[in-house]
Structure 1
Amino acid sequence: MSKKNLIIGVSILLCIFFISNSNAYPINYITLENKFNARMEITDLYVVDLNNDGSKEIIATSYDSKVYLLDSAANKIWQYDAKAYVYSVNAIDMENDGHLEIVAGSSRIHVLDFNRTVLKKSQRLDPAKKIVVGDFDLDGFDDIMVSTGRIRSNTVYIFNNKFETLWQKSVRGEFLWGIAMEDLDNDGKKEVIIGGSEILVYDADKNLVWGFKPDGGVRDLFVDDIDDDGKKDVLVGSYPNFYVITNDGRLKWSYKTKSTVKSIHVTDLEHDGKKEIIIGSDKAYLFDAKGDLIWSFNTSGDVNFVHSGDLNWDDTEEVAVASKRIYVLGKDGSVQWEYEPYRAAMKLLITDVDNDGRNDLVVGGLDNTVYLFKAREVYIRGIQSYSLYEEAEKLYNKGNYSGAKSKIEEAIYIGNRWNIGKCKEDFNKCNSLLQRINEKLPSTTTTTTTTTLTTTIEETTTTTLPGGGGTGFIIPAVIIFIILVAVMIYLIKRR
């Protein structure tokens, strides 16, 4: 290869690199607020307002036999010793008095109030792997459904609020990770859905309604009317397939992955009335209700849990993925943010913990840690400014000058107010667009605005933001550029 061809080749690579990053923006809009360390792995998480003070508490369980109650800032309020591994947790209003209690699953079912008082405790059971709460017998009081068992020996119980057994059934198979009680046939009575070595649906009298045999054991189960046809579907995760089954046991569609489907979540990402299905397996997958794959995302290991919620206040939901790394993905599957804990994340939830109107991210994992992450307004405003600029350009090109003016002025305001974003980093381009827009509008409404906005943004002092702020992507780009140039010089000298 000649020096000329070498230089041309490296130059092309440099151009591709900078073109691909020319529209980059900071993705560190989520930062670690606090973390709590247990003594062993976190097994389950639940977030709910137990004391009706407007802020939610974080309930975490662990292999250290403890139930931990944390406040909205992830500080420990108390811990409770269940005397055995604690696998699962939920919340129930036992007395139907508007106050929720904690239900924790260990070798017994423990019911605790906010003050750590033990209200109920079941007889000794096999390890309680999963807990579901709902009114099974339709008496107006919540009941507790729990799957218990060891390898190839499992029992499902439903207890009422007095811990009397309403329903009990032993089934064969491995651990029962998937259970639900839902009215599948719209007759006003709930069926019991059990996922072990197969899917089994029973009525209230323990009569088998239907069964479905997947290729592998059931790892997760989710019930939802995904296509809004008035009939609930049963969504099943197994190895290596994901199944959608009708309410009468017929296969609607399936998809083969390359690992066990451990987590299923149904949501409407764009709030357009059309539901999407997120599953976690060898990677994260997003499907529409018909089974068409919208996108998939490669993760750093098998996916343990998926969830969704709006983290950047754009009225669309982000997808949160728990793997060896924690990912937040946009509706198109692009990475918005990621974080690497010491060991793999096992569960995560997007919810507004502190009641400030903005969702937070709560994560628990194998590193014995509960993480509380919060979205930072300064970073989110910066991200929004890029979208506002693009929208302003599109509206300008379509001749909607008043709409374009509103968008670009908001983008410029973000640069003024937050010292971040498109119009902070390239205010000349923003002001140029504003000037072109103003030239298309009546002159009486434009002169003062243009001067004020231009002067203000140019005189703003640059502020260094914690965690990298608006320049979070610039430093890596510069480093990579220097490395590429050094490689080019080295190769030229070798020739």
Structure 2
Amino acid sequence: KKSYVKNQMRILFYNGNGDLLKTITTVESKHISSVKSADLDNDGKKEVIVGIAAGYILKPRGVYVYDYSTGSKIWHYNIGPNPNSITIANVTGDASKEIIFGTIGPWNGNYDNGISDSESAVICLSSDGKRLWMHKFEKRGFVDAQVAVSDLDGDGRNEIIACTQEHGWNKWDGKWGKVYIINPENGEIEKVHDFGKPVMHWTGMGIADFNGDGKKEIVVAVKDGSKKETKITMLDSDLKLLHEYVISDSRAKIEAINDINGDGKNEVIICPTAIKKLIFLGYDLAELWSYTLGDHGSAIVSDLIPGGTNEIIVSADKLYVFGSIFGSIFEDNFSELNLSKWIPFGSPSPRVLDSVYGRSGVFDNNGDSWCASGIISKNALSLTPPFTIESDVYLDLQS
């Protein structure tokens, strides 16, 4: 939310009933790209980690950390490009957590802390804001990088997974993109899969065990401008190609991974924007079910309706709530949500997904969770359009 005082932005914290708990005023800026929360230094208190972005005003761009209780800034780390996909995890094996993030390169002339905004990188910061390492990728121009952290091979050590892309002014522009596995201790590349096409950062990156072998697979969206198509692509933990699903849409977002139908296998949920659909893909990326929306949408998975089964909530021309049996659906206009009509479907309780990283956020039913597309509280009774919520997150800051 813009305060109209020196272009400062405010982060508003609400509880589940909609009561305003806290307001933190950030550095003078134009855009907050992400908000996360974690106890970085193990003092029993959670800090608020904020990605600050800028356009042609160039600065500030970077990571800013605030004390939740006082609202004061603890430290910041500025960079040339805009920060992207901020992830908090212990990747060095010490007692504290690290902040790992990628970058978005607008290529309009900014430089800070050893990197320009015509470069892309993965950067790892300590809990007190010191740079531990930075790995810059070889391509320059309009280049971006997204990161995720996961133990892919089950050996007890987290790996850093990065995907890169070249973007342009046209939606089909770009001829460079790779997926990397990076050593978390020093930032060195361990494995790479070169697609030769953009691996889109804003569409999300899914990581889960799809075939039950104890190792995790990686799901990304690869854009092919020459064919005007996007491939939802699955790689194994060694970055070998497993499966692909082709769609004629440049904006096919990976919204979530979840065992929606309770069969013990994860499904992939995507929302291609041009064809305005919600599509469920199986563990092998075969299409299982689809539904045509009234407009392009964003989806999340949540146990919205009490009953122990997950629902799929889609924001498009309407607010759609899908039951966990394919084809079961309730629709309501934004003007009023009649929750008395929302009943559980009685299907088997779906297993929780591993995680999905990216513009659709990270969804993890077992612990910390956040989602950029938002969630409607089961206590909410009405919403009146038009409204916009940017970088909305759901965090336990008081426990």
Which residue of 1 is the match for residue 388 of structure 2? 368
Q: Which residue of 1 aligns with 2:131?
A: 165
For 1:191, the equivalent position in structure 2 comes to 159
Q: Choose from 71, 75, 81 the match for 1:126.
A: 81
1:260-299 equivalences in 2 (<5 Å)? 260-282=251-273, 283-299=277-293
Q: Displacement of 1:233 after TM fit?
A: 0.6
User: Once superposed, what is the RMSD of the aligned Cα atoms?
Assistant: 3.3
C-alpha distance 97-251 of structure 1, shift in aligned 2 (>3 A): same
**Is contact 1:311–1:359 with CA below 8 Å preserved after alignment?**
no
**Structure 1 residue 348 and structure 2 residue 373: aligned?**
yes
1:254 and 2:216 are equivalent in the alignment? no
Aligned partner of residue 255 in structure 1, secondary structure: strand
Provide the rounded CA distance (Å) in 2 between the counterparts of 1:328 and 1:267. Answer: 16
* Paired residues of 2:254 and 2:268 also in contact (CA < 8 A): no
Task: Say whether residues 1:137 and 2:105 are aligned partners.
Answer: no
- Given that 2:32 and 2:391 are in contact with CA atoms closer than 8 Å, whether structure 1 keeps it comes out as no
TM-score, length-scaled by structure 2: 0.67
Task: State yes or no: 1:117 paired with 2:72.
Answer: yes
Match of 1:93 among 39, 42, 52: 39
Task: Give how far 1:279 is off.
Answer: 1.6
How many residues in Structure 1 have an aligned counterpart in Structure 2? 303
Is 2:199–2:222's contact at 8 Å kept on the other side of the alignment?
yes
SS in 1 for 2:207: strand
Counterpart code for 1:213: F
Q: Which runs of 5+ in 1 are unaligned?
A: 1-37, 41-62, 373-495
Bigger share in strand:
2
Counterpart contact for 2:84–2:102, Cα < 8 Å: yes
The 1:245–1:322 alpha-carbon spacing in structure 2 relative to 1, beyond 3 Å, is farther
Note if contact 1:319-1:330 (Cα within 8 Å) is conserved in structure 2: yes
Give the Cα separation in 2 of the matches to 1:110 and 1:371. 15
* Equivalent residue number for residue 220 of structure 2: 236
Q: Highest relative contact order (Cα 8 Å, sep 6+), 1 or 2?
A: 1
Give yes or no for contact 2:103–2:145 (8 Å, CA) kept in 1: no
TM-score by length of 1: 0.55
Match of residue 8 from structure 1: none
The residue type equivalent to 1:169 in the other structure is: H
Rounded to whole Å, the distance in 2 between the matches of 1:348 and 1:360 is 16
Return the offset for 1:177.
Answer: 6.0
Is residue 201–residue 211 contact of structure 1 (8 Å, CA) maintained in 2? no
Matches within 5 A, 1:287-366: 287-303=281-297, 305-331=298-324, 332-340=326-334, 347-350=372-375
The residue identity in structure 2 corresponding to 1:145 is I
How much does 1:270 deviate? 4.1
Q: Is the 8 A contact 2:318 2:331 kept in 1?
A: no
How far 1:180 moved relative to its partner?
0.8
Aligned pairs for 1:171-182 (under 5 A) are 171=137, 172=139, 174=142, 176=144, 178-182=146-150
Q: Which amino acid aligns with 1:286?
A: F
Tell me the distance in 2 between the aligned counterparts of 1:64 and 1:258: 40
1:360 to partner: Cα distance: 7.5
Larger Rg computed on CA atoms? 1
Q: Tell me the distance in 2 between the aligned counterparts of 1:73 and 1:370.
A: 19
**Structure 2 letter corresponding to 1:109:** V
Cα offset for 1:176?
3.5
- Superposition deviation, residue 104 in structure 1: 0.4
Cα distance change, pair 89–75 in 1 and its aligned pair in 2 (3 A): same
CA deviation after TM superposition for structure 1 residue 64, in Å: 6.8
Q: What amino acid sits opposite 1:195 in the alignment?
A: C
Classify the secondary structure of the residue corresponding to 1:348: coil
Residue 80 in 1 paired to residue 25 in 2?
Answer: yes
Please report how far the alpha carbon of residue 242 of structure 1 lies from its aligned counterpart in structure 2 after TM superposition.
Answer: 0.6
Alpha carbons of structure 1 residues 316 and 97: separation in structure 2 relative to 1, 3 Å:
same
Query: Structure 1 counterpart of 2:221, which letter?
Result: G
Query: In structure 1, what is the Cα distance between the partners aligned to 2:180 and 2:278?
Result: 27
* Distance apart, 1:362 and its partner CA: 12
Task: State which of 37, 48, 51 in structure 2 corresponds to 1:102.
Answer: 48
Structure 1 Cα separation of the partners of residues 380 and 147 of structure 2: 28
Mapped to 1, the partners of 2:89 and 2:313 lie a distance apart of: 26
The 2-side partners of 1:118 and 1:182 are apart by 29
Separation in 1 of the partners of 2:391 and 2:99? Answer: 28
Does the aligned pair in 1 maintain the 2:303–2:311 contact within 8 Å?
yes
- For residues 267 and 252 of structure 1, the distance between their equivalents in structure 2, rounded to whole angstroms, comes to 19
Which piece of structure 1 moves more, 167-176 or 276-285?
Answer: 167-176
User: Matched residue of 1:68: which SS?
Assistant: strand
- 2:193 corresponds to which residue? 211
* CA offsets 1:347-374 (integer angstroms, 9 cap, x no match): 43458x7xxxx697999x99434799xx
Give aligned-pair identity as a percent.
19
More helix by share: 1
Please state whether the residue corresponding to 1:285 is helix, strand or coil. strand
- Residues 1:368 and 1:311: Cα distance change in structure 2 (over 3 Å): closer
Give how far 1:190 is off. Answer: 2.6
